Amino acid sequence: MDASQLSHVGLFRAILSIDPQADLFHELLSPWIAGEREWLTAFEQQTSPEPIEIDDSWRLYALSRINQILLMAFQRGTHDIWEGPALTMPEYLAFMTGLGFRAVDEPAYSPFFHEIVEVVEADGTSPRQDYIDLERVDWPALMLGPMMFSRAGVAVSCVSGALQPEIATSSTLYWAHRRKYRPREDLADGWGSNSQWATQFRRDYILGDKLLFNADGKYDLNDSGLRMREDGLTRAERIELLTHGCFVRCEKPDNDLDPYSDRILLPRDFQ
């Protein structure tokens, strides 16, 4: 089949099965751009975090799964047996920006924009900017209008106590289906080869000077009367898990948790 005619699932599977010596970008990715860009351009006009059509959410989720396997080209680790695709960063950016996503270079660390890959020592050549500073960017953040599509993968340094490095780099990452460098869990886990694609996409938004995490979440963590869940997490621990996607300080068990129904609106400078 012509690559331009592949469905999202078809492209996903083709990327996984293509010969490593083949030209992934020109054979599969580039021909696929035109058929998807029109829909993404139209969706980008929806700047509100109000609920979207379920089919649109599933489509964004499928795109996120494609994105996650492409990003494995820029990761190291042993938590996934697949080495990742033969793809360069310029090719990755050409594909994603060709679809209509915008690469974002946010200079200050924020869990909205950045996914922690590694915690390192500060290079010492410049004064600290904040409690947590960026030291390296392995891949860029991608946005669609005011909506975050894919966070940047980064190495950070921090002042004592801002993070627990071992926890921040090895705790379970939620809303994630493929990662080389840490354990992960996703709402699609455990579902069949077809039903897994009927999974909602997590939507995070920039709203002026505020950040909205998980717009479709049922439980507002700003509600002071919110009941504690059976997992025993405090409100602060739920906020940590929701905003970072993982624990970065909390020492409680990090697997089999259920952060998927939480949401929160926070100041833009939240770390």
pLDDT at 127 over 80: no
Distance CA 211, CA 103 (A): 18
Contact 211, 266 (CB under 8 A): yes
**Lowest-confidence pick of 55-59, 214-218, 226-230:** 226-230
**Local structure of 143: helix, strand or coil:** strand
* β strands within the chain, DSSP E: 102-104, 114-119, 132-139, 141-144, 147-150, 152-158, 173-174, 184-185, 204-207, 210-213, 219-220, 262-267
Average pLDDT over the chain, rounded to an integer: 95
Q: Where are the beta strands (DSSP E) in 44-172?
A: 102-104, 114-119, 132-139, 141-144, 147-150, 152-158
Percent of the chain residues topping a pLDDT of 70: 99
Q: Which amino acid is at 107?
A: P
Region 82-92: mean pLDDT is 97
**In the predicted structure, residue 129 carries a pLDDT above the cut 80:** no
Whether pLDDT at 123 is above 80: no
Percent of the chain with pLDDT over 90: 87
pLDDT at position 1, please?
65
Of the given ranges (35-39, 169-173, 221-225, 257-261), which has the lowest mean pLDDT? 221-225
pLDDT confidence of residue 228: 80
Give the sign of the dihedral formed by CA 131, CA 133, CA 184, CA 180. negative
Q: Has residue 61 got a pLDDT over 80?
A: yes
Quick one: pLDDT band at residue 130, thresholds 50, 70, 90? Answer: confident
For residues 125-133, average pLDDT: 80
Q: For residue 171, which of 259, 251, 261 has the smallest C-alpha distance?
A: 251
Confidence of residue 4 (pLDDT cuts 50, 70, 90): confident
Collapsed DSSP state (helix, strand, coil) of residue 90: helix
Q: What is the pTM of this model?
A: 0.95
**Binning pLDDT at 50, 70 and 90, where does residue 183 land?**
very high
Give the pLDDT of residue 217.
97
